[in-house]
C-alpha cells in the first residue's frame, strides 16, 4: 500500500461510544463497523445476531440461543428469534458489569459475561454453542417451552433435553455436571469447565452419533486468509482433542476446493435462511472461485460499423459535462457523476474517439480533486478516531446525511464510485495519479484494508463478510435482522474499481485483492440475490413471486427496497444492475436467468412515463439475449439514470 494519507480529523457528534461493550484493550485499534456481531456492540445491544445455525441474543447476565424456524410469504422470508434456551449463572454477581467483547476474528467473537462467570466462543458455522465456565458456578438454563424430559449419559457429561416444541437439545461438558429440572428450567450444582450445547437437527437420532463424535474439539476463533488470487483459506483455532466439525452454507459447498483435506457430511444438515448448512470435518478449508479478469473495456469489443452511433452520442454527452453546473454535494450522488464521466473516457478509448478525452479529463480533475484536497464546498472526507475511518463533513453531525455515511453506512458504494473515477483519471493522466496517490489509497483502504499489518488507520475489510462471502452495507445501526445490503452491483463496482486502480498504479496486490473480493461478491449475488426456482434455495411461494431480492439481511430476505415498494420491479432490477460496466456481463452471465428477470420486470414498465432511467437498465439486460429489440428501446429513451448515459447504453448493446 502507498504511504498512508489521513484526511483532516474530526470529532463526530453522531457516532456511538464503542467503549460500552468492547474490552479496553481493543479500543486502541480500528473497530469493525459492519460486522456479523455488530448488534452486540451498539449502545442498546439488545437485538440478536445470526451465527449459522443459531440466533444469539446477549444481555449483561445471560445468553439466549434460538434454533430459528423459517417463516415465509410471497414477499418476505425470515427467521424468528425465540429464546429456546437462556444460559446464565443461577445467581449473578455485580449487576453493574457489562457483558463485553474480549476478542474477535474473521469467523468468530468471544463474548464475556462476567456477572455469570461465562465466556462464550461464538464461532460462525459451529453446530455447538460453546462456553467456558471460568470458576465454580451454579448454572441456570431456562426455556420458554416446557421440558418434557432430561436424560443423562456418559457419567453425567452428556444430557439430552426434549422440549414440547418438538426440539431436542444436547449438552456436553468437559467433566461431570449435576443437573436438575423443573418444567422450564435446568439448574446445576457448581461447575467449572467447558459446556457445549447443540440443537439436534430434524430431531433425527442418527445425528446424535455425529454430535457425540465431535463434541470434544471446539473452535475459539477463525481466520480467513486471502492467500492467493481467487482463493480463501479458513483456519480455526481449536481446543481439546478430536476433529473439528463446522457447517458450510451452499456457496461454501460450491467453492470447497478438492485440494483441502476435509470430509463433507452430506446427510448432517441444519436449516437456515441461507439454505441448508452441511457438516464439514477439518481444521482448515480452502475455497476457490473462478478467476475474473478485470478489464477496462468490454470483453468482446465493438464492431467498427457501430462506432458512428456511439461517437455521436459521446459528442453530446461530453459536451454536456460542466463541473460548475454540479448541484449536488452528496457523496453518493456526486460519486455517481464522477463514475458516469469516467465511463465516457473509457468508451471514447474503445471507439477511438480520442479527441473528447481532454475535456473528460478536465471534468474529472475539477470534480475529484476538491474531495481529495479538502476544498470542496459544503462537504468532504474527514477522518474520525472513535471507530477509525472516513466520514463526510455532513455525516459527522447528521446521521442521516449522505445515506448514513457518517455512521459507516454504504462506504463501499460511495467510495467505489470515487475510486472508479480516480482509476480512470490515473490511467489517462499518470502525473495526476501520482500526485494524489496517497489520498486515493486512503479511500480504498477505508473499506479494503487487509488488516493491522498493512494499515493501522482502518479496520480489516470494513464491508466484506468473510463467512457469507459478500458485503454488508449497513453500519452502526441496530437492526432486528442484523446487517443488510440492497445494491449488490454497487458492491461489485467497489471491488472492480479498486482492482482497476491497482492496474492504473501497477499495484498487483491491489489488483489481486480487488479481483478476489469481486469474484466472491458476484458468486454470492448469484447465489442469494438472483432468485432461481430450480435452485430450491428459497421457499416455493417466495421463489414464484420474486426473481431478485430487494434487501438481503443476515436473517431475512425482503422483496421491497429502502426507497421503493416490492411492486416496483424495475427499481429492484435497476438497483442490482447499476452502474453498467464491463463486469456487469460476468454478474449476469446466466442468460436463462437474465431473460426470466427481464420478462418478470417488463410488465411493470407499462404505461409509466417517469421511469426512463430504470427502463435503461431493464433494456440493457434484455440486450444480453435480444440485442435488436433492446437497441430499439434504448434509442427511444428520453432520459437516463444520473450515473448512466446514452453513450454507455449504446456501448453496452453494441458490445454484446
Catalytic residues: 410, 486, 490
- The SS3 of residue 417 is helix
How far apart, in whole angstroms, are the C-alpha atoms of residue 246 and residue 491? 28
Burial 57-87 (b: 16+ CB within 10 A, else e): bbbbbbbbbbbbeeebeebbbbbebbbbbbb
Interstrand relation of 129-137 and 191-199 (parallel, antiparallel or unpaired): antiparallel
How far apart, in whole angstroms, are the C-alpha atoms of residue 539 and residue 310? 44
β-partners of residue 558 are 76, 551
* The 3-state secondary structure of 20-84, one letter per residue: HCECHHHCCCCCCCCCCCHHHHCCCCCCCEECCCCEEEECCCEEEEECCEEEECCCEEEEECCCC
List the one residue out of 150, 151, 121 whose CA is nearest residue 133.
121
E-only strand ranges, 298-451: 381-384, 389-392
How far apart, in whole angstroms, are the C-alpha atoms of residue 628 and residue 310? 16
Q: How many CB atoms are closer than 10 A to CB 53?
A: 26
Name the strand (E) or helix (H) holding 118: strand 118-123
How far apart, in whole angstroms, are the C-alpha atoms of residue 221 and residue 522? 27
Helix axes 437-448, 357-373, angle to 10 degrees: 70
Give the CB-side neighbour count of residue 366, counting CA atoms within 13 A. Answer: 14
DSSP state of 138: -
List the one residue out of 170, 162, 169, 160 whose CA is nearest residue 146.
162
Query: Burial level of 319, CB count in 10 A (0-12/13-18/19+)?
Result: exposed
How far apart, in whole angstroms, are the C-alpha atoms of residue 262 and residue 287? 12
Within 395-507, residue ranges assigned H as helices are: 411-428, 430-435, 437-448, 488-505
List the one residue out of 485, 537, 494 whose CA is nearest residue 513.
494
Query: Burial level of 133, CB count in 10 A (0-12/13-18/19+)?
Result: buried
How far apart, in whole angstroms, are the C-alpha atoms of residue 343 and residue 651? 10
List the one residue out of 300, 294, 211, 329 whose CA is nearest residue 494.
294
β-partners of residue 141 are 87, 186
List the one residue out of 255, 281, 251 whose CA is nearest residue 266.
281
* φ, ψ at 424 (rounded to 5°): -65, -40
CB 616 within 8 A of CB 637: yes
- The SS3 of residue 109 is strand
CB 619 within 8 A of CB 630: yes
Give the CB-side neighbour count of residue 293, counting CA atoms within 13 A. Answer: 6
Q: How many CB atoms are closer than 10 A to CB 340?
A: 23
How far apart, in whole angstroms, are the C-alpha atoms of residue 464 and residue 501? 19
Amino acid at each position: 500500500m502507498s504511504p498512508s494519507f489521513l484526511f483532516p480529523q474530526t470529532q463526530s457528534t453522531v457516532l456511538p461510544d464503542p467503549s460500552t461493550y468492547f474490552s479496553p484493550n481493543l479500543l486502541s485499534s480500528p473497530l469493525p463497523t459492519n460486522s456479523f456481531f455488530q448488534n452486540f456492540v451498539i449502545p442498546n445491544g439488545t437485538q440478536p445476531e445470526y451465527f449459522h445455525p443459531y440466533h444469539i441474543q446477549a444481555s449483561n447476565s445471560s445468553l439466549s440461543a434460538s434454533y430459528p424456524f423459517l417463516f415465509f410469504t410471497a414477499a418476505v422470508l425470515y427467521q424468528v428469534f425465540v429464546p429456546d434456551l437462556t444460559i446464565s449463572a443461577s445467581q449473578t454477581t455485580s449487576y453493574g458489569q457489562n457483558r463485553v467483547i474480549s476478542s474477535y476474528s474473521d469467523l468468530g467473537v468471544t463474548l464475556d459475561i462476567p456477572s455469570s462467570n461465562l465466556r462464550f466462543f461464538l464461532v460462525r458455522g459451529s453446530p455447538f454453542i460453546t462456553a467456558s465456565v471460568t470458576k465454580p458456578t451454579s448454572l441456570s438454563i431456562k426455556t420458554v417451552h416446557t421440558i418434557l424430559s432430561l436424560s443423562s449419559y456418559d457419567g453425567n457429561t452428556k444430557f439430552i433435553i426434549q422440549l414440547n416444541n418438538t426440539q431436542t437439545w444436547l449438552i456436553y461438558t468437559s467433566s461431570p455436571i449435576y443437573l436438575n429440572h423443573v418444567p422450564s428450567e435446568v439448574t446445576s450444582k457448581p461447575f467449572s469447565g467447558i459446556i457445549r450445547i447443540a440443537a439436534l437437527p430434524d430431531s433425527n437420532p442418527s445425528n446424535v452419533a455425529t454430535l457425540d463424535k465431535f463434541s470434544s474439539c471446539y473452535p475459539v476463533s477463525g481466520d480467513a486468509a486471502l492467500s492467493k488470487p481467487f482463493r480463501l483459506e479458513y483456519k480455526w483455532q481449536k481446543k481439546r482433542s478430536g476433529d473439528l466439525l463446522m457447517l458450510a452454507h451452499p456457496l461454501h459447498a460450491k467453492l470447497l476446493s478438492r485440494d483441502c483435506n476435509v470430509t463433507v457430511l452430506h446427510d448432517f444438515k441444519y436449516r437456515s435462511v441461507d439454505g441448508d448448512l452441511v457438516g464439514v470435518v477439518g481444521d482448515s478449508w480452502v475455497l476457490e472461485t473462478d478467476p475474473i479478469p478485470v478489464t477496462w473495456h468490454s470483453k468482446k469489443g465493438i464492431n467498427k460499423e457501430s462506432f458512428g452511433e456511439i461517437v455521436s452520442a459521446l459528442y453530446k454527452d461530453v459536451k454536456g459535462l460542466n463541473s460548475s453546473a454540479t448541484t449536488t454535494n452528496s457523496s453518493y450522488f456526486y460519486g455517481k457523476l464522477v463514475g458516469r464521466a469516467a465511463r465516457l473516457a473509457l468508451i471514447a478509448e474503445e471507439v477511438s474517439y480520442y479527441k473528447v478525452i481532454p475535456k473528460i479529463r478536465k471534468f474529472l480533475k475539477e470534480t475529484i480533486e476538491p474531495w481529495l484536497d479538502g476544498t470542496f464546498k459544503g462537504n468532504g472526507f474527514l477522518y474520525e478516531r472513535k471507530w477509525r475511518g472516513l466520514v463526510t463533513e455532513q455525516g459527522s453531525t447528521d446521521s442521516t446525511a449522505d445515506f448514513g455515511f457518517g455512521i459507516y453506512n454504504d462506504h463501499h458504494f460511495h467510495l467505489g464510485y470515487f475510486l472508479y473515477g480516480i482509476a480512470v483519471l490515473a490511467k489517462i493522466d499518470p502525473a495526476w495519479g501520482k500526485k494524489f496517490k496517497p489520498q486515493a489509497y486512503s479511500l480504498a483502504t477505508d473499506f479494503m484494508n487487509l488488516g493491522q499489518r498493512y494499515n493501522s488507520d482502518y479496520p480489516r475489510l470494513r464491508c466484506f463478510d468473510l463467512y457469507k462471502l459478500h458485503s454488508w452495507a449497513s453500519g452502526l445501526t441496530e437492526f432486528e435482522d442484523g446487517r443488510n445490503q440492497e445494491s449488490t452491483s454497487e458492491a461489485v463496482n467497489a471491488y472492480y474499481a479498486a482492482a482497476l486502480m491497482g492496474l492504473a498504479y501497477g499495484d498487483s496486490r491491489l489488483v489481486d485483492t480487488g479481483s478476489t473480493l469481486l469474484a466472491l461478491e458476484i458468486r454470492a449475488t448469484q447465489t442469494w440475490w438472483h432468485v432461481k426456482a430450480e435452485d430450491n434455495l428459497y421457499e416455493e411461494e417466495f421463489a414464484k413471486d420474486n426473481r431478485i431480492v430487494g434487501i438481503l439481511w443476515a436473517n431475512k430476505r425482503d422483496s421491497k427496497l429502502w426507497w421503493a415498494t416490492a411492486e416496483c420491479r424495475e427499481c429492484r432490477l435497476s438497483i442490482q444492475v447499476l452502474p453498467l460496466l464491463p463486469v456487469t456481463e460476468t454478474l449476469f452471465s446466466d442468460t436463462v436467468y437474465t431473460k426470466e428477470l427481464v420478462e418478470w420486470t417488463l410488465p411493470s414498465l407499462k404505461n409509466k412515463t417517469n421511469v426512463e432511467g430504470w427502463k435503461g437498465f431493464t433494456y440493457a439486460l434484455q440486450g444480453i439475449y435480444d440485442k435488436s429489440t433492446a437497441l430499439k428501446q434504448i434509442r427511444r429513451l428520453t432520459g437516463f439514470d444520473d450515473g448512466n448515459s446514452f453513450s454507455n447504453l449504446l456501448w453496452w448493446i453494441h458490445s454484446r
